[in-house]
């Protein structure tokens, strides 16, 4: 039979051949690396039989699909190990995640670190047995009876929501799980296994449900890959923005406001520097700044569509016996500003931006420092334009995003085009036009991108930008969304050149995304050692002894007068101790003053992690610092 390959070539296989046979025909190395396949764009097991003219792509661990498949199989291995060691444990779900997998269990007592060690050891034993993953399809009734007999109540609950036959995967003869698959051929493909942590997790993420125990793990086809991953994890822990935020006195979190960050004075310096820079860049790019209220009437959210699609994530309050919502998004307010006056085609595009404070109800279990909060500020903008201006405006946004990321030291980023989700508003024809417009501009800009099916906003398709930090971790930040639907819902118009009323297109976009999240990313990327222009304290003035305190105070005051954020360490401590403290606090520069400096009216400059830079006059020091601030230099 004829089999088509992704590169357009084809190969001939015997009837009844499977995906692994296809890999072996292509090359012995590919067959060895293969763990699954995509047949006609559907991910399947390697044992899946092929048919005439199937399009087959062999999947290895190096692909995103391959990692997900590998880690999904590893989650099954871990679930088997748990039930062998803790026979009363009930299994729930165990999906792959961005870096590894987890599985949730109902157990009598929480897992201990010693339990995790035992489970990990058993996982490795199961892997070494090379137990095959075998798929079976059973009727709906048979599946319910099978899991009911095993007292797997969570699996029964899942099955009762379905009305179709079920697929089951066995590992050897001893263990099975309800699963669509696909999976690796056998457990022996897993050469390295590490369980990372355990925590509580509510069934289906609902705090009204049973508290389960979740175990997180990671696995690889080679031990060296695990070693490298664990080294990166160790480095990431050192860079944890929550720890650094506390150590550097930038922000804090409190039980009195769970999920709401408290910004300290030094944190506000960092926050304001970013905001001020963004404001200047927006104005230079032709945007006008606006601000919309955080509380708006319920009727508005019905009109915008948020009520039907997003109300579970919104907060509400009653004012004058009227129901109101605290805004989760800024766009309805931006539409009201547009509606406030009549507009002509000559005005378009209109580009309005705001640092919009929004509130979204996130479940307590997913809150994570600045990365996932309940209150955050978006560097939001709404562009109102004519349909034939969409591609040009989106192109300008892409260029804007690229410039901004480079300034903050992020020169590498990935791009996703997210298409229509299951729940959406608007016409299918309009969605197709919007998706095509975004695809066209990415192609014209020669931007590499991948399609993310079904992940668009409910009102329009979007382009998402994922920056890569120094550890090559990916962070979704900027987004551009083309919206033909909401302008119609709000009946906004402009007068065209022919005198007719037309509906403009609305482009939603953020560059940094959430200010809070972006600051968390910055802190981790730079391990707390921020570029000079962003550093809350730019120079720490260190007198050698109290004898030189007056001169140190005058140096500090002079630096401050020149716009340098300088801070005096006037403690009665030895100089070496003060230097170590400044290094720990990630201060970019230390100005050391003693007898020699006081006599010559100079200062000795020391740079973080690089040591002495020489002796400078105050004027020379200020000029050098101002130049570095203007250049927005990135620490090496």
What share of the chain has pLDDT > 70, as a percent?
100
Cα 319–Cα 323–Cα 327 angle in degrees, nearest 5 = 95
In angstroms, what CA-CA distances link 451 with 414, 454, 456?
12, 9, 10
Bridging pattern class, strands 100-106 and 566-568: unpaired
Q: Yes or no: say if 32 and 53 are a contact pair by the CB < 8 Å rule.
A: no
What share of the chain has pLDDT > 90, as a percent?
72
Token pair for residue 83? 């039930």
Q: Yes or no: say if 65 and 96 are a contact pair by the CB < 8 Å rule.
A: no
pLDDT in tens, 240-266: 999 999 999 999 999 999 999 999 999
3-state secondary structure of 500: coil
Residue 132 pLDDT level (bands cut at 50, 70, 90): very high
pLDDT at 206: 78
How far apart, in whole angstroms, are the C-alpha atoms of residue 459 and residue 420?
9
Residue 432 pLDDT level (bands cut at 50, 70, 90): confident
How far apart, in whole angstroms, are the C-alpha atoms of residue 474 and residue 478?
12
pLDDT in tens, 135-160: 999 999 999 999 999 999 999 999 98
Sign of the C-alpha dihedral computed for residues 327, 333, 335 and 340 taken in this order: positive
Residue 152 CA to its chain's centroid (Å): 34
Token pair for residue 104? 């949730």
Average pLDDT over residues 495-514: 93
Q: Where are the alpha helices (DSSP H) in 103-222?
A: 113-128, 140-149, 153-160
Of 116, 118, 133, 245, the residue nearest 180 (C-alpha):
133
Residue ranges and CATH numbers for the domains of the chain are: 2-60 (3.10.20.30), 65-228 (3.30.980.10), 251-292+330-525 (3.30.930.10), 539-631 (3.40.50.800)
Q: Yes or no: say if 353 and 289 are a contact pair by the CB < 8 Å rule.
A: yes
Point out the least confidently predicted range of 14-23, 346-355, 451-460.
Answer: 451-460
Residue environment code for 118-156, b if the CB has 16+ CB neighbours within 10 A, otherwise e: bbbebbbebbeeebbbbbeeeeeeebbebbeeeebebbb
pLDDT at 445: 87
How far apart, in whole angstroms, are the C-alpha atoms of residue 250 and residue 263?
6
Q: Where are the alpha helices (DSSP H) in 161-204?
A: none
Token pair for residue 344? 């002509």
Report the chain's mean pLDDT, rounded to a whole number: 92
pLDDT at 241: 93
pLDDT in tens, 574-610: 999 999 999 999 999 999 999 999 999 999 999 998 8
How far apart, in whole angstroms, are the C-alpha atoms of residue 247 and residue 240?
11
Token pair for residue 167? 């697929």
Average pLDDT over residues 219-225: 95
Average pLDDT over residues 58-84: 95
Q: Yes or no: say if 262 and 242 are a contact pair by the CB < 8 Å rule.
A: no
Distant-in-sequence, close-in-space partners of 400: CB < 8 Å, separation ≥ 6: 281, 285, 511
Average pLDDT over residues 536-550: 94
pLDDT in tens, 357-396: 999 998 887 889 999 999 999 999 999 999 889 989 999 9
Distant-in-sequence, close-in-space partners of 209: CB < 8 Å, separation ≥ 6: 202, 203
Residue 423 pLDDT level (bands cut at 50, 70, 90): confident
How far apart, in whole angstroms, are the C-alpha atoms of residue 94 and residue 246?
34
Distant-in-sequence, close-in-space partners of 284: CB < 8 Å, separation ≥ 6: none
**In 10 A of CB 521, how many CB atoms?**
23
Bridging pattern class, strands 413-418 and 462-468: antiparallel
pLDDT at 530: 95
Phi-psi label, residue 461: left if phi above 0, alpha if psi -120 to 50, beta otherwise: beta
How far apart, in whole angstroms, are the C-alpha atoms of residue 114 and residue 116?
5
pLDDT at 425: 75
Distant-in-sequence, close-in-space partners of 550: CB < 8 Å, separation ≥ 6: none
Against a cut of 0.75, is the pTM above it?
yes
**In 10 A of CB 574, how many CB atoms?**
11
Q: Order of strands across the sheet with 602-607?
A: 566-568, 539-543, 589-593, 602-607, 611-617
Angle at which helix 153-160 crosses helix 140-149, to 10 degrees, equals 160
pLDDT in tens, 170-221: 998 889 999 998 999 999 999 999 999 999 888 987 778 899 999 999 999 9
pLDDT at 460: 83
DSSP 363: -
- In the block, which residue shows the tokens 């500020």? 377
pLDDT at 430: 78
Active site residues: 331, 360, 378, 380, 382, 462, 508
pLDDT at 340 > cutoff 90: yes
Average pLDDT over residues 525-553: 94
DSSP 48: P
pLDDT at 435 > cutoff 90: no
Cα 301–Cα 307–Cα 309 angle in degrees, nearest 5 = 130
**In 10 A of CB 585, how many CB atoms?**
19
pLDDT at 426 > cutoff 80: no
């Amino acid at each position: 039979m004829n089999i088509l390959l992704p590169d357009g070539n084809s190969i001939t296989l015997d009837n009844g051949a499977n995906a692994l046979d296809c890999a072996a025909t292509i090359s012995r190395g590919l067959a060895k690396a293969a763990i699954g396949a995509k047949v006609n764009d559907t991910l399947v097991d390697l044992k899946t039989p092929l048919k005439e003219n199937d399009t087959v792509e062999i999947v290895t661990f190096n692909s995103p699909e391959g990692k997900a498949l590998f880690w999904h199989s590893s989650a099954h291995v871990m679930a088997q190990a748990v039930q062998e060691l803790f026979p009363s444990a009930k299994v729930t779900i165990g999906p792959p995640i961005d870096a590894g997998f987890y599985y949730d269990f109902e157990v009598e007592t929480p897992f201990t670190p010693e339990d995790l060690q035992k489970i990990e050891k058993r996982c490795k034993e199961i892997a070494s047995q090379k137990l095959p993953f075998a798929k079976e399809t059973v009727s709906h009734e048979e599946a319910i009876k099978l899991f009911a007999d095993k007292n797997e109540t969570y699996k029964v609950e899942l099955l009762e929501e379905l009305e179709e036959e079920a697929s089951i995967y066995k590992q050897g003869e001893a263990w099975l799980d309800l699963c669509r698959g696909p999976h690796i051929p056998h457990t022996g493909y897993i050469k390295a296994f590490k369980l990372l942590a355990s925590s509580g997790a509510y069934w289906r993420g609902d705090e009204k449900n049973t508290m389960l125990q979740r175990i997180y793990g990671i696995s690889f086809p080679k031990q060296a890959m695990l070693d490298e991953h664990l080294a990166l994890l160790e480095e990431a822990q050192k860079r944890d923005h929550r720890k650094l935020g506390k150590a550097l006195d930038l922000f804090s979190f409190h039980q009195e406001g769970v999920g709401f960050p408290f910004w300290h004075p030094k944190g506000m310096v960092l926050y304001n520097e970013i905001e001020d820079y963004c404001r200047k860049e927006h104005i230079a790019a032709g945007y006008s700044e606006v601000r919309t209220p955080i509380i708006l009437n319920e009727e508005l959210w019905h009109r915008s569509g948020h009520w039907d699609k997003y109300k579970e994530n919104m907060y509400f309050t009653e004012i004058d016996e009227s129901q109101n919502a605290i805004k989760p998004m800024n766009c309805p307010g931006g539409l009201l500003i547009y509606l406030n006056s009549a507009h002509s085609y000559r005005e378009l595009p209109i580009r309005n931006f705001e640092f919009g404070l929004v509130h979204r109800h996130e479940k307590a279990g997913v809150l994570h420092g600045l990365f996932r909060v309940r209150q955050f500020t978006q560097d939001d903008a709404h562009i109102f334009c004519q349909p034939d201006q969409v591609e040009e405006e989106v192109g300008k946004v892409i260029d804007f995003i690229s410039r901004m990321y480079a300034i903050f030291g992020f020169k590498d980023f990935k791009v996703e085009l997210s298409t229509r989700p299951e729940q959406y508003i608007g016409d299918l024809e309009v969605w197709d036009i919007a998706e095509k417009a975004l695809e066209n501009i990415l192609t014209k800009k020669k931007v590499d991108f991948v399609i993310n099916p079904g992940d668009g906003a409910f009102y329009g398709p979007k382009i998402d930008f994922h920056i890569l930090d120094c550890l090559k971790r990916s962070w979704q930040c900027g987004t551009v969304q083309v919206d033909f639907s909401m302008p119609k819902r709000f009946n906004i118009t402009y007068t065209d050149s022919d005198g007719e009323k037309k509906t403009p297109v609305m482009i939603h976009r953020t560059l940094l995304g959430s200010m809070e999240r972006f600051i968390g990313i910055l802190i981790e990327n730079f391990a707390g050692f921020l570029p000079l222009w962003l550093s809350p304290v730019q120079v720490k003035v260190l007198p050698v002894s109290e004898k030189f305190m007056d001169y140190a105070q005058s140096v500090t005051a002079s630096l401050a007068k020149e716009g340098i954020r300088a801070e005096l360490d006037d403690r009665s401590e030895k100089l070496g101790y003060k230097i170590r403290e400044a290094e720990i606090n990630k201060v970019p520069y230390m100005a050391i003053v003693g007898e020699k400096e006081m006599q010559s009216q100079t200062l000795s400059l020391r740079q973080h992690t690089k040591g002495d830079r020489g002796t400078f006059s105050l004027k020379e020091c200020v000029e050098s610092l101002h130049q570095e601030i203007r250049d927005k230099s990135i620490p090496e």
